[in-house]
Amino acid sequence: MKYAAKALTNISILKLLKKHGAGVDVVSIQEAQIAIGAGFAPDEIMFTPNCVDFSEIVQGVDLGLNINLDNLSVLEKFGKKYGSSYPVCIRLNPHILAGGNYKISTGHGNSKFGISVYQLPQIMQLVSKHKIQVNGLHIHTGSEITETEIFLKMADILFGVARDFPALKFIDFGSGFKVAYKEGDHVTNIYDLGLKLGKAFKEFYHSYGKQLELWIEPGKYLVSEAGYLFVTATVVKTTPSVTFVGVNSGLNHLIRPMMYDAYHEIVNVSNPTGDQKIYTIVGNICETDTFGADRKINEVREGDLLVLKNAGAYGYSMASNYNSRFRPAEVLMLNGKVHLIRKRDTLDDILRNQISIDL
């Protein structure tokens, strides 16, 4: 299992996952360096960059990472430079639209990710020409996939392609497991997926002629439900049509609702038994900045503490200093103890790399 670090790259979280036996999937050389700093050995790290300069691939090789390439141009450059001297994994685009949101589906025909399965002849030509050592095949079709059948369709594609690569060591199915955002949400049945995909994989590698490793790369699935964003209600603003609750946070801390129209349950922890009313929860950023519209929440008073659930994935990792506001602190509760694992920003943090010139 390779934890998808982009979901949350805090070094303490990486150390915790390392302690529990996980590897890690990274998408930038900086994530790789953080993972190494957290104790991961280079061979435990899968490096899956997208649209990066080739020099970043070279850095990954120099670090000894597992390299995963997703376009023909870079594959050719890699072959010219390394030939058969350094193994590489190839990321395929299966042309499968999967997941709950087109913006987070990465395996459809118009996605920038992966080399199209229809371009297999070009892949094979480059592999043959440069004697490239292909040790893995990878597919990741997106996020919030609930159907086991989607993974089995991916398996059929991967198993078919794999027969053209006799020196494989692993096949990587990515992730995309759906978590619950609200009561009654349909989620990925991991038990069912494990049984069916495991059976299909075992049948494949028997026919392939040797046992391979099956890799998966959960990110959101591991940290989403573990994270909560606490905010304070700064203003309750009633208009003729809407009652807004303004909070001391915004899309600079949790951008998913505005970027993906993602749903995050919002609870008033200061008044959990109050009468329920309809509110639109908005942030303090000078943009349309809505956390949740027309939500039924226990009565909110200025000063109340609210919590947004499922903020553990793509919360802090996508946070910014927009409007020159501070990014929040991060706190880890582990074995009944509270640990500060990231300090709140200060003005010095915002100004650190700015250079004031004499005018």
Structure confidence by residue, pLDDT tens digits, 304-349: 999 999 999 999 999 999 999 999 999 999 999 999 999 999 999 9
**Whole-angstrom distance, CA of residue 234 vs CA of residue 248:** 6
Is the per-residue pLDDT at 297 higher than 60? yes
pLDDT at 98 over 60: no
Q: For position 142, what pLDDT does the model report?
A: 67
Instruction: Report the chain's mean pLDDT, rounded to a whole number.
Output: 93
Q: Residues 1-58: pLDDT tens digits?
A: 999 999 999 999 999 999 999 999 999 999 999 999 999 999 999 999 999 999 999 9
Enumerate the CATH 2.40.37.10 domain ranges in the chain, comma separated.
229-344
Q: What is the 3-state secondary structure (H, E, C) of the chain?
A: CEEEHHHCCCHHHHHHHHHCCCEEEECCHHHHHHHHHCCCCHHHEEECCCCCCHHHHHHHHHHCCEEEECCHHHHHHHHHHHCCCCCEEEEEECCCCCCCCHHHECCCCCCCCCEEHHHHHHHHHHHHHHCCCEEEEEECCECCECCHHHHHHHHHHHHHHHCCCCCCCEEECCCCECCCCCCCCCCCCHHHHHHHHHHHHHHHHHHHCCCCEEECCCCHHHHCCCCCEEEEEEEEEECCCCEEEEECCCCCCCCHHHHHCCCCCEEECCCCCCCEEEEEEECCCCCCCEEEEEEEEECCCCCCEEEECCCCCCCHHHCCCHHHCCCCCEEEEECCEEEEEECCCCHHHHHCCCCCCCC
**Dihedral, CA atoms, 72, 74, 77, 79, nearest 10 degrees?**
-70
Higher pLDDT, 25 or 100: 25
**293 or 189: which carries more pLDDT confidence?**
293
Per-residue pLDDT of 200-259, as tens digits, reads 999 999 999 999 999 999 999 999 999 999 999 999 999 999 999 999 999 999 999 999
Q: Are 179 and 264 in contact (CB under 8 A)?
A: no
Cα separation of 231 and 176, whole Å?
28
Residues spanned by CATH 3.20.20.10 within the chain? Answer: 2-223
pLDDT of the residue at 103: 46
Neighbours of 166 (CB within 10 A): 10
> Within 10 A of 109 (CB to CB), how many other CB atoms are there?
11
Q: In whole angstroms, how far apart are CA 122 and each of 107, 129, 198, 226? A: 19, 10, 30, 43
Catalytic residue numbers? Answer: 286
| Mean pLDDT score, 141-162 | 85
CATH of domain 2-223: 3.20.20.10
Structure tokens of 130? 């440069």
Pick the CATH number of 229-344 from 1.10.10.10, 3.40.50.720, 2.40.37.10, 3.40.1410.10: 2.40.37.10
Q: By mean pLDDT, which of 66-80, 122-136, 148-162, 288-302 is the weakest?
A: 148-162
Helix axes 54-63 and 72-82, enclosed angle (nearest 10): 50
Rounded to whole angstroms, the Cα distance separating 221 from 4 reads 10
- Give me 45's structure tokens: 């790290």
